[in-house]
Chain A
Amino acid sequence: KQEVTQIPAALSVPEGENLVLNCSFTDSAIYNLQWFRQDPGKGLTSLLLIQSSQREQTSGRLNASLDKSSGRSTLYIAASQPGDSATYLCAALTGTASKLTFGTGTRLQVTL
């Protein structure tokens, strides 16, 4: 059974800092891993999808990496801004299942 863990659970940083969010998964037989952003009371916005054959994906100030062998993914946010404040979720699509397994998220606050 796939289990996904995210650390830290919460993070507060001053504007302009670079930061790393961590995601780990127990079953390395994944098809892909997605990173999402969720604002309070809102839906999920897809940020990046990394296929199992890929090592990283980049979109603007975001860079996500994937290391299947160690069961880890990281989301790197460069030059953080107050507008980045949200909960960030990672989710793994496991090869034997049809569902995404989500982590519990990292709540990020970027302060002025």
Chain B
Amino acid sequence: NAGVMQNPRHLVRRRGQEARLRCSPMKGHSHVYWYRQLPEEGLKFMVYLQKENIIDESGMPKERFSAEFPKEGPSILRIQQVVRGDSAAYFCASSPLPPQRQAGNEQFFGPGTRLTVL
């Protein structure tokens, strides 16, 4: 059973361009979470999605950021008109159950995408 897959692993964009980050959850997992790790800071929650639904986007910046998890295919985190402050590592995690359904429900993390904005 392959783990959580993220691509690309490294992404370089110039200011004003768009960045698309992809996440394929573990097989059988229908709950996806995105986290961001800014340089020298801890991981911060961004958004929680189930198939075709955004459940909690309380950590998403109000502008330029969007996320989706379509019925088919990977989850996508999209950043429009990137700025230097968007440079960070973006991690995706997945779980088989909703977060509070079972106390032993573990979130499994992917290797991350490191975004550099020039």
Binding site for B on A (CB under 8 A): 31-32, 34, 36, 41-46, 49, 51-53, 89, 91, 93, 95, 97-105
Contact = CB atoms under 8 A, between A and B. Distances in A.
B58 to A, nearest CB: 8
B91 A44 contact: yes
Contacts, number: 70
Given A101-B45, A102-B44, A104-B42, A31 B91 contact: no
A89 B108 contact: no
Interface residues of B, number: 28
Nearest to B47: A99
Q: Which 10 A-B pairs have the closest CB atoms?
A: A99-B45, A43-B111, A51-B103, A44-B109, A104-B42, A102-B43, A98-B99, A98-B48, A102-B42, A98-B56
